[in-house]
Amino acid sequence: MSNSKQAINPEKGYVALLGWSLNAVEAADTFDRRYVVVAPEWAEDYCKEHDIPYVAWNFERLNDRSMEIAETLKDMGVDVSIPLFEETVEWAGAINSVLMDKPRLFGQAMLLRDKALMKRRAQLGGIRVGIFEEAHDRDDVIRFLKRVNQTLLKLEGDPDDPIHLKAFDKAGCLGHRVIRTPDEVDTIPDEEFPVLMESHLDGWEFAVEAWIHNGKIAFLNISEYVTLGYSVFVPATPDLEKYREQIREQIELLIKTFDIEFGFVHPEYFVTSDGTMYFGEVAYRPPGFKVFELLERSYGFNAYQGLILAFDPKTTDEEIKAFFPKEVVDAKNYAGCFGVYPRRRVVSRLEIPTETEDHSYFESHELTPPLEETVTKRTAFGTHWGLVYFQGDDAYTMRDLLKQQEELDFYV
């Protein structure tokens, strides 16, 4: 174990990480930029114990005191702040608008934080999106469900196409529900409103991670979902990679539409059978499903350090060029992960299935023993209990293997 920090390059920027992520901290700690962690008080003990530069801050809603943290970081000489979680995106916008004296960064962040606003802006920019609307109560949902299906020329009695409900400002699958019939509308609790409603797109959903420097794409990864909410791997299969050029054009359009100069975007798209791309949503922070960790396993570069490079205003083009590998061809192998949900109602212990353990692609897992025996019934998509990592040479074996995990019990 190395205890010494990497030598700091004084020519380079000083970055603030907003939110606590151990992997991000470790990346920063072993990189050549000065850094500081801005996180809630519960992180303080760990930071002190491990000699990690730290400023305490509770990321609740933006309020009158928001300027305080921006001023603090400015006084410290910080050049830029980097959001690590959805909840810190607007804070990064607000802070960076002060640090860099660019007020529009705050407006941009608000746009990237609200799914309804985001879709409108995308539509204005000429990006293709599905039908969407905001709902304030259950009646709105029923109306939307009916209208979407009328648009699809369904007859009375035909099975309806589902619609999707998402919270405005939550990451990924949190609060994501699928509604198929008006009956199901009653299951939505009051506190989930207002929500964004979207028509269902019968396409292939995938995600993109793009690092942006000086308004240009520095590295573009396509993440292939095997089953949404369960599993993802990188790089994608050749079947999906064949759309790379089209996808690159879409990302360039996104960068232009949202006026993004630097940093990192994580959008989701659908591609339909005729090759049309539909924009789903975009986040201005690392993906929740650990794609950064997968990229390191596959390509060998540290995606968090890439994030620091992409945000630091003092990064040069040469640095960017030297840091990022060439997409797909430089990948050593395929890396994927699977999110485990307990399949039984009552579980007593963690036991990795023999099928999984015996497969040469299996690498490791982050599952912990169950704390309670009764498994809470899943509403919406919920959160998985931990990830299982795989690595191997063949994309299709990876895809099938990840699919296969859905049929196995990790908690018995």
Partner 1 sequence: MGHVPAMVDPVSDERLKLRCKRLDAALDELTRASRVAHLSKVPRVLDAARQVLGEPGGPLALRRRIVSLTEAGIFRGSDWDYPENLVPTLARQALTSRDPATVVIEVLSLLRLLSVVEDDYPGANVGVEQSREHLVRVLALNLSILYGIQGEAVREQGEKLAAVSRGSLQFILEQLGFDQVVDALIAEIWRILEQRPIQVAPVREMITQIARCLQDPEQDLGASGRGAERLVSSLYGPTRACGEDPGLATYAERLRAMDAVGLQGEVMGLARSMHDTGLVSPYHAVAISHLLESDDRAILLPDILGLSSTGRDCLLCYQSLVQTLIREAIYPDTCQSIYGLALLLERGILYQPPVAPGLWRQLKVRLAPQARERLRLTFGEALPPETHLVAGVLSVLGQPLGIGQGNNPTCQSARALSMWAYNDPDYLLQMVIWAARDDEIVMHFEGEGISSRGETELVRPLLGFDLDPVSLVVVPHLDRIYSQMMARCVGRAEDPHCWVNPEFHGWWTGRGFQINVDVATGKLANLEDFLRHFFASYHPYYNGVQPLIHPQPAGIAVTDSAARFIGWHAITILRVALDQHDDMRVYFYNPNNDGGQDWGDGTVVSTGGCGERYGESSLSFAEFASRLYIFHFDPLEPGEPEAVDGPMIDDCAARVRRTWAVDRLPAPLSEPSERSVG
Which residues would be at the binding site for partner 1 (CB under 8 A)? 1-3, 5, 22-23, 25-26, 29-30, 50-52, 348-352, 357-358, 360, 362-366, 369, 412
C-beta of 373: minimal distance to partner 1 in Å? 11
Triad 47, 385, 371: Cα angle to 5°: 85
C-beta of 333: minimal distance to partner 1 in Å? 13
Q: Which residue has the tokens 């990864």?
A: 221
In one-letter notation, the amino acid at residue 226 is V
Q: How far apart are CA 310 and CA 129, in angstroms?
A: 28
C-beta of 300: minimal distance to partner 1 in Å? 13
C-beta of 371: minimal distance to partner 1 in Å? 11
State both tokens at 24: 């991000």
Residue among 239 and 357 whose Cβ is closer to partner 1: 357
C-beta of 308: minimal distance to partner 1 in Å? 15
Residue among 136 and 344 whose Cβ is closer to partner 1: 344
Residue among 2 and 273 whose Cβ is closer to partner 1: 2
C-beta of 52: minimal distance to partner 1 in Å? 6
Helix H or strand E segment including 207: strand 204-213
Helix H or strand E segment including 159: none
Residue among 225 and 362 whose Cβ is closer to partner 1: 362
C-beta of 169: minimal distance to partner 1 in Å? 29
C-beta of 55: minimal distance to partner 1 in Å? 16
Triad 286, 324, 92: Cα angle to 5°: 30
Q: How far apart are CA 26 and CA 21, in angstroms?
A: 9
C-beta of 345: minimal distance to partner 1 in Å? 18
> Is the four-CA dihedral 219, 220, 224, 230 of positive or negative sign?
positive
In order of 27, 292, 313, the CA distances from 33 in angstroms are 10, 19, 12
State both tokens at 186: 């009653």
Residue among 31 and 144 whose Cβ is closer to partner 1: 31
Residue 277 and residue 270 in contact, taking contact as beta carbons nearer than 8 Å: yes
Tell how far CA 106 is from the center of its chain: 20
In order of 35, 202, 327, the CA distances from 131 in angstroms are 42, 13, 33
State both tokens at 381: 């998509």
Residue 109 and residue 284 in contact, taking contact as beta carbons nearer than 8 Å: yes
Q: How far apart are CA 127 and CA 257, in angstroms?
A: 9
Q: How far apart are CA 47 and CA 362, in angstroms?
A: 33
In order of 45, 109, 124, 323, 329, the CA distances from 215 in angstroms are 39, 16, 19, 17, 24
Residue among 56 and 350 whose Cβ is closer to partner 1: 350
Residue among 23 and 237 whose Cβ is closer to partner 1: 23
Residue among 3 and 273 whose Cβ is closer to partner 1: 3
State both tokens at 258: 């949202």
Residue among 270 and 292 whose Cβ is closer to partner 1: 292
C-beta of 244: minimal distance to partner 1 in Å? 30
Residue among 207 and 340 whose Cβ is closer to partner 1: 340
Q: How far apart are CA 328 and CA 346, in angstroms?
A: 42
Q: What are phi and psi of 92, to 5 degrees?
A: -60, -40
C-beta of 5: minimal distance to partner 1 in Å? 8
Residue 184 and residue 141 in contact, taking contact as beta carbons nearer than 8 Å: no
Residue among 27 and 234 whose Cβ is closer to partner 1: 27
Q: Which residue has the tokens 């730290």?
A: 54
